[in-house]
Structure 1
Amino acid sequence: MSAMDQLKLMRLFVAIADEGSLTGAAEALGTSQPSVVRGLARLEAHLGVRLFHRSTRRIALTDEGRRYLADSRQILGALAEADAGMRAELSDPTGLLRITAPVQFGQMYVAPMLNRLVAHHPKLQAELILFDRVVNLVEEGFDAAIRIGALEDSSLVARTLGVVRRVVVASPGYLARHGRPSHPGELRDADCVGFSSASGPNWRFRDGGRQLKVTIDSRVTFNLVAPGIAACRDGLGFGSFLSYQVAPDVADGALEIVLADFEPPPLPISVITPHARLLPARTRLFIDTMREALAGFAM
């Protein structure tokens, strides 16, 4: 007999004891009397003892039945308490929420949101680890991750939060000195800021219906985004960034977007979890809050 079946029969047994009759138990449980009789017989067969003395007029607990009733009430009470605790956590999440995200996106969007969550939920703790690499959620113990770009097929569950663009920018001063390019191919002979990443010096564009790859010559190369953006602001050349990374500089006029008609398709922003179901309340809260914060996010 499975544990679920035994709990079901245990509830049936307690109902018989509480109602004092098989008929009363059937009414309380919303089932038929024959079903109650069969369930009691099955439980007694499983335990190997008789739980009730039964006659045509009355039903009474045996000594074994009284002991089993006390144990059953304790088990069912503990189960009810655990259920109530989980329901309470839905409205007041507890425990440690471990999240990972790309460095700059985490600083700009995830960290402020986590701060608000912790402020509003006193029993919640949060740890945000920022990496510009793909993290193994299960092996490294994370509840969820934010990822930008196409996702490899895996057992992980992804929920799309928004999209970002891949843009090319330069400072107004640099554009004034060297001119504004009209086609990505012109970048081959221009000053560019590079990154020591997987794509290396190859910048990708879309020219009409076809993909276009342009190999640039970097004056300076960085492994982090922030100094690359600073180099572009200082007029060292063109840089290729995700739109959110340069949004503040574009907004205040320190950088200008060029070649917008040749941008590749937007990249999805996704929140990744190890499982689709039975997520802790704190993880569901994080996902729902990120969805709300980034609703319609497109840069």
Structure 2
Amino acid sequence: MDKLQAMAVFVKIAEQGSLTAAANAMGKSLPSVVRMLASLEESLQVRLFNRTTRRIALTEEGLFYLERCRKILAEIEESEVALCQDQVEPHGTITLTAPVRFGEMHVAPSVTRFLSQYQGVQVNLLLLDRVVNLVDEGIDLAVRIAHLGDSSLIAKPVGEIRQVVCATPTLLAASGGAPRRPEQLSDLPCVHCTSISSSPLWHFSDSGKRLDVKISGAFMCNQVGASVDACVAGLGFGLFFNYQVMPWVKRGELETVLRKFEPAPLPLSLVYPHTRLMARRVRTLVDWLERDLKHSFAR
């Protein structure tokens, strides 16, 4: 017996006042309606209707069961309507995580634009500089800047993040121009951001070989924002990810140097647990961020 169908038949009988009327209203045969009601009563071990040849009336148990059946069937209908609406217009909550600085500069503004267009969606944005377990922590989507190991996660590449050395035009002029080789940085003032490089060794690539250069300077900080500010103030050369200094480079306040010695860029990816049965709201945000971030880093 299909319990939900039997419940729907029971409710229809109560509403129509007879088995025949219920059968006609549901487009079913009278014998099938009689069988479903009998099976339902047998499974419940109670009598739902008192029946005579002339009328049918709910028992006390039937009145109790009718109220519950109506609530259950209404909730199922509401859930199905919500799912159908989600297929047309995304709605619901998405939990998204991204690195703190990148999230502040690029992900949060993109999400703000997304929410302006899709007003039925809510986004819980977690800005974290640790790698989270998407499945264990109930996260729908992550923005990651790293080489990703083998896993069951899906990674959609959207760009590359370079590691750049930069300085103000004034500092470059005072230093006799841009350095031609990384080793020259050992004799120049540098801003040491420990969240980028934990040790005072900056890593470069020289014809495919790793080259380490020891740097020193008056300013050391564990926060990117303060380190970029110090670099913009002319306290020294800085080593950052390109997105972290992009606004100042565009304005001409900083210039990048030693481009041909940069290490291999890191992939920028959208990472999510699976594509099968992905909610439309998540898929829509993935497509949105892919377009936005590709546009930002297509240079």
Fold match (TM-score > 0.5): yes
Q: Give the 3-state SS of the residue equivalent to 1:90 in structure 2.
A: helix
Aligned pair partner of 1:149 in 142, 146, 151: 146
Query: In the alignment, which residue of structure 2 is the partner of 1:256?
Result: 255
Shift of the alpha carbon at 1:76? Answer: 10
Offset of residue 106 of structure 1: 1.2
Partner of 2:162: 165
Match of 1:175 in 2: 172
Percent identity of the aligned residues?
42
CA distance, structure 2, for counterparts of residue 264 and residue 68 of structure 1:
73
State the shift of 1:264 in Å.
1.4
Correspondence list, 1:222-261, <5 A: 222-261=221-260
CA contact (8 A) 1:164 1:298 kept: no
Assess, with a 3 A threshold, how the Cα gap between structure 1 residues 65 and 210 changes in structure 2: closer, same or farther: same
AA paired with 1:123?
Answer: G
Between the two proteins, the alignment pairs up a number of residues equal to 249
Give CA deviations for 1:3-26 in whole Å, capped at 9, x if unaligned: 9xx99xxxxxx9xx9587xxxxxx
Distance in 1 (alpha carbons) for counterparts of 2:130 and 2:75: 44
Indicate if the aligned counterparts of 2:195 and 2:223 stay in contact, CA closer than 8 A. Answer: no
Q: What is the rounded CA distance, in whole Å, between the counterparts of 2:132 and 2:35 in structure 1?
A: 55
Indicate if the aligned counterparts of 2:196 and 2:239 stay in contact, CA closer than 8 A. Answer: no
Contact 1:162–1:294 (8 Å) recurs in 2: yes
| 1:61 counterpart SS class | helix
CA distance in 2, matches of 1:67, 1:298: 68
**1:81 Cα deviation from its structure 2 partner:** 6.5
Q: For 1:127 and 1:62, locate their aligned partners in 2 and report how far apart those are by CA, in whole Å.
A: 48
Shift in alpha-carbon separation, 1:68–1:76, aligned structure 2, 3 A: farther
Decide whether the 8 Å contact of 1:164 with 1:266 is kept in 2: yes
> Which residue of the partner structure matches residue 128 of structure 1?
125
- Trace 1:65-84 onto structure 2 (pairs within 5 A): 65=36, 82-84=79-81
Residue matched to 1:199: 197
Alignment root-mean-square deviation, CA? 3.2
Helix, strand or coil at the partner of 1:138: coil
Partner of 2:298: 298
CA contact (8 A) 1:170 1:237 kept: yes
**Quick one: structure 1 residues 78 and 230, their matched pair in 2 at CA, closer, same or farther if it must change by over 3 Å?**
closer
**Paired AA for residue 288 in structure 2:** T
Partner of 1:277 in structure 2? 276
User: Gapped runs of 5+ residues in structure 2?
Assistant: 5-22, 41-69
Paired with 2:259 and 2:33, the residues of 1 have a C-alpha distance of 83
Q: Name the CA distance, whole Å, in 2 between partners of 1:19 and 1:184.
A: 83
Asked if residue 115 in structure 1 is aligned to residue 112 in structure 2, the reply is yes
Aligned to 1:36: none
Residue identity in the other structure for 2:272: T
Alpha-carbon distance change, 265 to 294 in structure 1, aligned in 2, over 3 angstroms: same
Partners of 1:68 and 1:276 in 2: how far apart?
Answer: 41
Between the aligned partners of 1:62 and 1:144, the Cα distance in structure 2 is 48
In structure 2, the CA distance between the partners of 1:291 and 1:258, relative to structure 1 (3 Å rule), is: same
Distance change in 2, residues 1:95/1:189 (3 Å):
same
Name the structure 2 match of 1:64.
35
Correspondences of 1:87-106 after superposition (within 5 Å): 87-106=84-103
* Unaligned 5+ runs, structure 1: 8-13, 21-58
Separation in structure 1 between the aligned mates of residue 298 and residue 250 of structure 2, nearest angstrom: 15
Counterpart CA distance in 2 for 1:119 and 1:224 is: 31
- Aligned equivalents of 1:198, 1:177: Cα separation in 2: 26
